[in-house]
Amino acid sequence: MNKYLKNDLDNIDCLLEKVKSNASEFLKDIDKIATFPKNSKNYEPTKLNKEGLGGEKALEEFMQRFYKGIVSSAGSKYFGFVTGGSTPAALMGDWLVSTFDQSATGRDNSSASKIEEEAINLLKELFGLPQTYSGTFVTGATMANFVGLAIGRQWVANELGFNISQKGMYSIPPIKIISSAPHSSILKALSMLGMGRDNMHYMPSMDGREAVDIEALENYLKEINGEPCIVVANAGTVNTVDFDDIKQILELKKKYNFFLHVDGAFGGFAACSPKYKMLVEGMDEADSITIDAHKWLNVPYDSAMQFTRHPKLQLQVFQNNAVYLGELSENPDFVHLTPENSRRLRALPAWFTLKAYGQDGYQELVERNCALAELLSKKIEKSKNFKLLSVTRLNVVCFTINVGENNAALEQIQQFLKLVNEDGRAFFTQTVYKGMPGIRAAISNWRTEEKDIEIAWEVLNKAYKRYLG
């Protein structure tokens, strides 16, 4: 055995204690650690050492060269990209995932598959989904949308009399995908699936909303005269967390031939709260659903779930034929249901956090984050420096800087955010809403409290004074 491997094996307890010490130090200081890297361009790459360094020296080099560039994206004042953090229980689970290093592919190879099955069932309870849905863990909302749209593609092809997973797309006309404000990952999935970004048919939104105009949607479905297609409904748009009226779309489904995919990456968590669950009414009757775990479930990257009513179609798309995997059973292994053959046990952090905090814990988290978003909105409404671009429906605040009579240009937003983010105490991202450049504050971290909003508000106003004061 290599001398460094042997030495690290003999001293694994000591190495893990050092890692634990560094991790504990990071978590203790997370509120003080910058939300934006200070010296992101000052890294000089090194060459591969012929003999190696051993685990302890590698850790020392990492801490010396890279640790200062690690940001508190898992902290309470990081409001970009709808990023959650990792609850204590989720972190416990994630550490065990790497320790156990289980392959979560076969149902009978270890208890890994049982954990995934149970975690999926717990999540169905959390979101009010019937047990008739099947579900699997994937790497993120992009891959969950990919799986849902792949199932939809298979459904459309079957309606046309083709098995697209066997014959390919060469014998069918382009598949129409319909939505009003699809997330960029939907378009990426269309590209990967061979359906093409240009086959997204954009429907008008309601006035002052990002939600689809139901009348316009029905008119289009009439126009295509029964041609099978895919409708993508939003359960929480990225800019304003707007929701399509899923119940009305389901009424259209009684008259028109389409597959309904609901992108509920983070808006699906509205189902956790009696105060907000009416926003996702009807989601439990969709053909497929995307929900992201490393957003509002607050588990480590990378983790999401896809749910569907059509597991047989899913199997047609993703089955992996190999002798060493054995025969397909009535309850197929997860390797036959997702794009990845290699699957880490990402269900374990979700299982831990769901068991630890339960329905009440996630209701409190969702409602607290939404209340904090409302608090920030009220500050903006009263301010002369900023103005809202949209009402705040859930946990994302969409606003802009006040530059006088004209709306702020994208370049101005970028310059302003550079000042904000370089402060290091809070992090926001840019957006464009209804043609107007703006700023997004996405509040979805379990740590975030009112004091964090106060600090972020101070940072925003300080940057405004520097930029326009």
Residues 367-410: tens digit of each pLDDT: 999 999 999 999 999 999 999 999 999 999 999 999 988 899 99
Q: Which CATH number fits domain 90-353: 3.40.50.450, 3.30.830.10, 3.40.640.10, 3.40.50.300?
A: 3.40.640.10
- Note the pLDDT of residue 71: 95
Reduced to 3 states, what is the DSSP secondary structure of residue 374? Answer: helix
Please check whether residue 235 is in contact with residue 291, taking contact to mean a CB–CB distance below 8 angstroms. no
Alpha-carbon dihedral 331, 335, 336, 338, rounded to 10 degrees? 120
Locate 83 and state its tokens. 């990023």
Asked whether 257 and 159 are in contact (CB, 8 A), the reply is yes
Which candidate, 1, 35, 34, places its Cα nearest to that of 441? 35
**pLDDT at position 40:** 61
Q: What pLDDT sits at residue 17?
A: 97
Q: Which helix (H) or strand (E) holds 137?
A: strand 134-138
Can you tell me the distance from the alpha carbon of 86 to that of 300, in angstroms, rounded to the nearest whole number? 5
Dihedral sign from CA coordinates of 377, 378, 383, 387: positive
pLDDT tens-place string over residues 216-262: 999 999 999 999 999 999 999 999 999 999 999 999 999 999 999 99
Q: What is the DSSP letter of 267?
A: G
Question: What is the C-alpha to C-alpha distance for residues 55 and 44, in angstroms, rounded to an integer?
Answer: 21
DSSP label at residue 400? E
pLDDT of residue 265: 97
Of 445, 413, 444, the residue nearest 429 (C-alpha): 413
Model pLDDT, residue 349: 98
Domain boundaries along the sequence of the chain: 3-72, 90-353
CATH C-level class of 3-72: mainly alpha
Distance (Å, whole) CA 258 – CA 6:
59
> In 3D, which of 108, 193, 138 has the Cα closest to residue 341?
138
Residue 332, pLDDT score: 86
Residues of the chain falling short of pLDDT 50: none
> Which segments of 39-87 does DSSP mark as H helices, in order?
55-65
The three-point CA angle 324-328-333 to 5° equals 80
Backbone φ and ψ of 86, nearest 5°:
-125, 115
Rounded Cα distance, 446 and 74, in Å: 9
Q: Indicate the helix (H) or strand (E) that contains 397.
A: strand 396-401
Judge contact between 140 and 294, C-beta under 8 A. yes
Helices (H), 101-177: 112-127, 141-159, 164-167
* pLDDT for 325: 59
CA angle, 347 then 335 then 123, to 5°: 30
